[in-house]
Amino acid sequence: MKFWIGVALAVALAAGLALSGTNEYFFYAGYVVLQFVVLATAWNILGGYAGYVNFGTAAFFGIGAYTAVVLFKAAGAPLGVQILAAACASGLLGFGTGLLTLRLRGIFFSIATVAVIFIMQTAIVNWRYVGGATGVQLLRPPAMPPFDSYTRMLFVVMAIMAVAGVCIARYIEVSWIGRGLRAIRDSEEAAECSGVPTLKLKLFACTVSGALMGAAGAPLPMYMSFLEPASSFDLNYSVSALAMPMIGGTSHWLGPVIGAILLGSVQQIVTVTISNEINVLVVGVLLVVFVVAAPDGVLGLLRRLKWFRRSSG
Amino acid sequence: MVPPLLRITGVSKHFGGFAALSEVSLEVAPGERFGLIGPNGSGKTTLINCVSGALRNESGSIEFDGAEISRLPAYQRTRRGIARSFQIPRPFKSMSVLENLVVPLEYVAHRRTLHTADTWEEAMAILRQMRMAEKADSPSNLLSQVELRKLELARAMAARPRLLISDEAMAGLAGNEVDEVLEILLELNRAGITIIMIEHIMHAVMRFSQRVICLDAGRIICEGAPAEIVKNLEVQKAYLGA
Amino acid sequence: MLFGILVGCFYAAVSVGLSVAFGLLDVPHVAHPALMVLGSYCTYLLGRYGWDPIVAGIALMPLFFLLGVAIYRFYYETFEKRGSDAGVRGLAFFFGLAFIVEVGLILVFGVDQRMVEADYIGKSLSLGGYRIPWRLLVAFGVALLLTAGLTLYLSRTFTGRAIKAVAQDEPALRLMGVNPVRIKQWAFGIATAVTALAGAMLIIVGPVEPSLDRVYIGRTFCVVVLAGLGSMTGTLFAGLILGVSESIVLTLFGASWAPAVAFGLLLVVLGIRPQGLFGR
């Protein structure tokens, strides 16, 4: 019950902010942080719960963005349809990648996800309809009332997506699916011998994860008013989506949220005040530091201080 | 004549050039207490892996309850009624002892159709049977050796099997602990479960089994009642060297 | 086609370090190409002082050996010993390491391409109507020597065979009185040292930039997986297959498709025959 109150509050807060007189820049930055909440939450469904490390977040994200662009260019599709289609496309990509490699050891899956990034990016670069390597410019439709600007509207859309993503992750986590995934992570062999259909569950997690990542990518073209392969398939998405749950904590849905807000905000600050390269360095260093020193992330530390109980929360 | 619960015919398994199993054939009757012995590296665990589905046999057939299962994935074999414990215990370390049992209960025995509360109750009942009820909420990565072994058996039991394969469940345990595990296995058998026991502890195998098979270098070298096996020269040679 | 063979051999040499680190030692070393690019940049630095790149590469080997030992030691203490979650965290660690190396190179050297100069770079050999750039021949030669050398080392020397043994049967090795951790450490050090020379060859073959490690993740893992984990001879064959495939795609479809070949081939191999050509 507490959870749903929190959800309602979060959505109300987002909408309220969007309708208030807050500085426009807040929404530019806020959109990015919320986007990372979705990406980190999506990553954690397969990476944290099941223990299969996806390096290819950028591919699922980028394909989501490009699916949205194709639908917009071809049929002027509204944002809602774009998001749905993007989720389907990236979900399919997740399913395909999983089918190919989830039977094998974890590292082969991880390398395959890197392969997917390159293959997808190369395919897009060679596709003239979406502008190839130079990319494509887009004209945003006018902002829908009651929002003053399109960016504010996208902020709320992303907030709803973040909430939806967290709800999905939470449901998986506390249900029998989550238990099966955890069994797979703890000992896949024992899980299989306990009747857990390991391949099916992994495929499910991979597909859902991919779909969410694609959905997160769908509003990107509208957010930036343009889209090009180099930045939409940027490996930074992959590293961040991996680092955020590692930093926040991978065993609970709150972990990716904390990690995304913390690291996302740090990234915004560093990119603006110092440089983009230092930003990537910071992400890399934080990832290594947490993986080595604090493997259970912020939530793990809080748990040790007894400030956080592991509940079905 | 009652048809065998498990029938293995001509099963072979190679790893590269190494023949782990060569044309192994055996039958286990329903309700039987079956002992499998053999020196290290003789193929006992490989055979069990082929039966449970962790490995695929290259040739031969494995029939369970009359149906061919050698092409089935492991989880489906578990759902048909084959459960095993692991030689080196593999608990689900992030879960409590009780939750370890809920996994097979949900995925095999009930397929999520029962109320959650009932599933946890059933898990408690199994723990009581294993004399481990007080450890229900302990994290499973903090158990002693004998508790880990019992958890392995408990988890196998939670899959409600018809055939339970116990892979060296007593290895390294002290005398009274061995007796405890043996007593549990005998109790389970009295309740109707067919049990294949792989063990090195001879007196346990002798007390437990109705029939014993000895493997060496991937082949069956002897089969019969426990008393005969012990006297068999081939068996002695296998264990002590030529 | 000839280019394909020359480049393929080069790919093999570049991947041979990974074949040891991942194929034999089972370390999820996705930072391998990043270390190679690091080697290229170090070669470049020495090149600025007039060092010949091959000499520089060889000189860097002991340094990289120590680096490899240090990395393995750290990895072992932090991850392999602790078991359970080690797989995920180990992978994440190397992924982070690769990133740190790449960004570090960008910060120090910038994103522009760097090249190195030597007598044999820029000239070509005319052979029966073909012009073969000397730099490719040099890289090919060094690559061949490197791969052959490592294969011989692994099969003829005691330490070499111990390395292969630790991949197959660690407890047996322990019983023989050999400390598996020290062997693995040594092996990882050698793998990293070889990577230094590979980096030198990389900058001989063409200009380098910090993000080059990304496409080489594809190439090296493709070669290692196609070869079959731990097979040195397989690495040579697999490298050739990749090199030839890339040159075919290059001729037929153009340069913009070339980066995807290695990754595509990798996916195909993983899907059809994950144990590779000579895998165990």
What is the distance in angstroms between the Cα of C114 and the nearest Cα belonging to chain A?
18
Chain A partners within 8 Å of C103 (Cβ): 277, 280-281, 284
Q: What does the pLDDT look like over B128-154, one tens digit per residue?
A: 988 888 888 888 888 888 899 999 999
Higher-confidence position of C170 and C151: C151
Residue B78 to residue A185, Cβ atoms within 8 A: no
CB contacts < 8 A, A to B, total: 82
pLDDT at B72: 93
Chain B residues touching A193 at Cβ < 8 A = 52-54, 74-75, 78, 83-84, 86, 156, 159
Q: What is the DSSP letter of B71?
A: T
Q: What is the predicted pLDDT for the residue at A33?
A: 94
Pairing type for strands B211-216 and B59-64 reads unpaired
Which ranges of chain A have pLDDT less than 70? 307-313
Quote the pLDDT of residue B111. Answer: 60
Inter-chain touch A191–B78, beta carbons under 8 Å: no
Which residues of chain B are within 8 Å of residue A191 when distances are taken between CB atoms? 92, 103
Query: Which residues from B are below 8 Å from A185, CB to CB?
Result: 94
Report pLDDT for C175: 75
Which chain A residues touch C if contact means CB-CB below 8 Å? Answer: 47, 51, 53, 55, 100-101, 104, 106-108, 110-112, 114-116, 118-119, 122-123, 125-126, 133, 186, 235, 239, 242-243, 246, 277-278, 280-281, 283-285, 287-288, 291-292, 295
A partners (3+ CB pairs within 8 A) are B, C
Instruction: Measure the CA–CA gap between C193 and C151, rounded to whole angstroms.
Output: 15
Q: Would you place residue B242 in the very low, low, confident or very high pLDDT band (cuts 50, 70, 90)?
A: very low
Distance from the first to the final alpha carbon of chain A? 9
- Whether residue A182 and residue B95 make contact (CB cut-off 8 A), yes or no, is yes
Quick check: A126 and C257 CB within 8 A?
A: yes
Global confidence as pTM: 0.89
B159–chain A Cβ distance below 8 A for any pair:
yes
Test B73 with A251 for CB contact under 8 angstroms: no
Note whether residue C207 is domain-resident: yes
Contact at CB, A111 and C104, closer than 8 angstroms: no
> Residue B115, Cβ neighbours under 10 Å: how many?
9
Q: Which two tokens stand for residue A5?
A: 């109150």
Whether C72 maps to a domain, the answer reads: yes
Q: What is the CATH number of domain A22-312?
A: 1.10.3470
What phi and psi, each to the nearest 5 degrees, are found at residue A251? -90, -5
Task: Identify from A179, A193, A199 which residue to disrupt to test chain B contact, counting B C-beta atoms within 10 A and taking the largest count.
Answer: A193
CATH class as words, domain B6-94+162-240: alpha beta
User: Nearest-CA residue of chain B relative to A200?
Assistant: B75
pLDDT, residue C117, reads: 76
Residues 6+ apart with CB under 8 A from B118: none
Nearest-CA distance from C71 to chain A in Å? 13
Interface membership of C166 toward A (CB under 8 Å): no
**For chain A, which residues make up each domain, given as ranges?**
22-312
* Residue of higher predicted confidence among A153 and C159: A153
Decide if C55 is inside a domain: yes
The answer to whether residue C167 is domain-embedded is yes
**Cβ <8 Å between B94 and A197:** no
CA distances A225 to A26, A137, A222, Å, are 18, 6, 5
Distance CA C85, CA B70 (A): 32
Give the mean pLDDT of C24-30: 85
Domain assignment present for C238:
no
Residue position matching structure tokens 């063409």? C206
Domain that holds residue C97: 19-211
Residue B21 dihedral angles phi and psi, to the nearest 5°: -135, 135
**Closest Cα of chain A to C19: distance in Å?**
14
Distance to chain C for A277, nearest Cα, Å: 6
B95 and A CB contact within 8 Å: yes
State both tokens at A275.
């440089």
Closest residue in chain A to residue B93, using alpha carbons only: A186
CA-based R_g, chain C, Å? 18
The tens digit of pLDDT for each residue in C13-23 reads: 889 889 888 88
For B67-100, how does the pLDDT look when each residue is reduced to its tens digit (9 = 90+)?
999 999 999 999 999 999 998 899 998 899 999 9
Please tell me the predicted confidence (pLDDT) of residue C180.
80
Residue C5 lies inside a defined structural domain of this protein: no
Determine, for residues A235 and C267 on separate chains, whether the beta-carbon distance falls below 8 Å: no
Q: Cα separation of A17 and A34, whole Å?
A: 14
No. of helices (H) and no. of strands (E), chain C: 11, 2
Burial class (CB in 10 A: 0-12, 13-18, 19+), A282: buried
CB–CB contact C270 A114 (8 Å)? no
Expressed in percent and rounded to 5, the helix, strand and coil fractions of chain C are 75, 5, 20
Distance from CA of A73 to the nearest CA of C (A): 24
- Mean residue pLDDT of chain C comes to 84
Chain B residues with beta carbon closer than 8 angstroms to that of A192? 53-54, 73-75, 78
C232 domain residue, yes or no: no
Report yes or no on C30 lying in a domain: yes
Q: What is the DSSP letter of C80?
A: I
Tens digits of residue pLDDT in C250-259: 888 887 788 7
Q: Distance between CA B160 and CA B127 in Å, rounded?
A: 14
In angstroms, the separation between the Cα of residue A187 and the nearest Cα of chain B is: 6
Token digits of residue A115: 């392969």
Average pLDDT for B177-191: 91
Question: pLDDT digits over B14-47, tens only?
Answer: 887 788 899 999 999 999 999 999 888 888 999 9
Give kind and range of the element (H or E) at residue A76. none
Calculate how close chain A gets to C94, using CA atoms only, in Å.
Answer: 8
- Nearest-Cα residue of chain B relative to residue A50: B94
Contact B103 A179 (CB under 8 A): yes
Chain A CB contacts of B94 under 8 Å are 182, 185-186, 251
Across the interface, of A51, A112, A284, the residue whose CB is closest to C88 is: A51
| Neighbouring residues of C50: CB distance < 8 A, sequence distance ≥ 6 | none
Report the residue of chain B nearest A296, measured CA to CA: B94
Query: Measured between CB atoms, does B114 come within 8 Å of chain A?
Result: no
DSSP run (H or E) holding B213: strand B211-216
- Quick one: pLDDT at residue B113? 58
Complex prediction ipTM: 0.89
Domain count, chain C: 1
Cα dist from A262 to A34, A277, C83, C89, whole Å: 11, 19, 29, 20
**Residues facing residue B119 across a β-bridge:** none
Contacts of C218 in chain A (CB under 8 A): 114-115, 118
Count Cα atoms within 13 angstroms, Cβ side, for A309: 3
Q: What share of chain C in percent tops pLDDT 90?
A: 17
Q: Across the A/C interface, how many CB contacts are shorter than 8 Å?
A: 117
Is the model's pLDDT at C118 over the cut of 80? no
